[in-house]
Amino acid sequence: MTGWSCLVTGAGGFLGQRIISLLAEEKGLQEIRALDKTFRPELQEEFAKLKHKVKLTLLQGDILDEQCLQRACQGMSVVIHAAAVIDVSGALRREVLMNINLKGTQLMLEACVQMSVPIFIYTSSIEVAGPNSYTEVIQDACEAQNLESKWAAPYPYSKKLAEKAVLAADGRTLKNGGTLYTCALRPMYIYGERNRFHSAQVNEALQNNRVLAEFAKHSFINPVYVGNVAWAHILASKALQDPKKAPTVRGQFYYISDDTPPQSYSNFLYTLSKEWGFRLDTRMKLPVFLQYWIAFLLEMVSFLLSPIYKYRPPFNRHLVTLSNSVFTFSCKKAQQDLGYKPLYSWEEARQRTTQWIGSLVNLHKEALKAKVH
């Protein structure tokens, strides 16, 4: 385990930057390369503070640029591929998601083969498994059930095909004659500081007298803290470098959860923000089946208008299903094979996230003061 090096793609993202921070604490790690299309100035400053711990190189490049990927992979022993575009509302063109999430992954695998990088860890998604129907109850599910999303929506579809490509690539012969080892991690809904979905919901509530939209009260999910997901990636990297563990882990996928209490998406955000005076919208909502069929009609309107006008519905059937399903998973296989244990307890994860939400509240207050003056 001494003298290894790691390339992290999507390093400027919510998860990627946490992976980098934890990697910097690893003894025996010689170099970290952080690849992303752009790095915000404040993140560059944060990464600069890590350079006294480990050699850290920031690389700006496109996941679809084959030469860039090969340069990034040169001399690396592990690739953690966390780069992806997340879109469940249909805001982006299908082609964008298929290119970055699927083609980008395929190009990254090929770069590993050409540059003889022996280990590839893929950040997959819980959406690869579903949910396929809001009426179906999936609780404490495990890998052996082989659940698979049936949605043609670009995000789950692109992630599903990319994961299949990663797992199928295990055992490929590298250019130097070595063998490629791969595995994939499927985290639950990831929360924590700098989660842009939380940020958007909190800022929206701040504009609405701190009333949180209760968009998903019928869901039941087990969220996972971003620090624990990052930790699972590092453990997977170590497991595939361990001659005893690697044969078990190769070509496998793992659900990653922690001890965060299962609850609805809406209640979860309320749990994290109530300390700052936020409250849930208690107004009556349309029944889920009605939301689903309205979404279907809106999708039909979008399809019929598509030759002459690009109409994006405010919500779709995939989003309605995602927001109203019972869908929880066990991480026992990751515990057994990877030695995974959450690095952060629920209490610590809650405190950290709640404090960050408090910082958003303070920023909002300062912005209001600035307007007044």
Three-state DSSP class for 37?
Answer: coil
On whether the CB atoms of residues 28 and 51 are closer than 8 A, the answer is: no
Which residues fall within 8 angstroms of residue 126, CB to CB, at 6 or more apart?
186, 187, 188, 189, 255, 327, 329
Which residue in 245, 236, 115, 98 sits closest to 158, CA to CA?
A: 98
Per-position DSSP letters for 281-304, written without gaps between them: --S----HHHHHHHHHHHHHHHHH
Out of 134, 155, 189, 340, the active site residue is 155
Residues in the chain: 373
Task: Quickly count helices (H) and strands (E) in the chain.
Answer: 14, 14
Q: Of all residues in the chain, what percent are helix, strand and coil, respectively (each to 5)?
A: 45, 15, 40
For 76-103, the DSSP string reads -SEEEE------SSS-S-HHHHIIIIII
Look up 155 and say whether it is catalytic: yes
* Active-site amino acid positions: 155
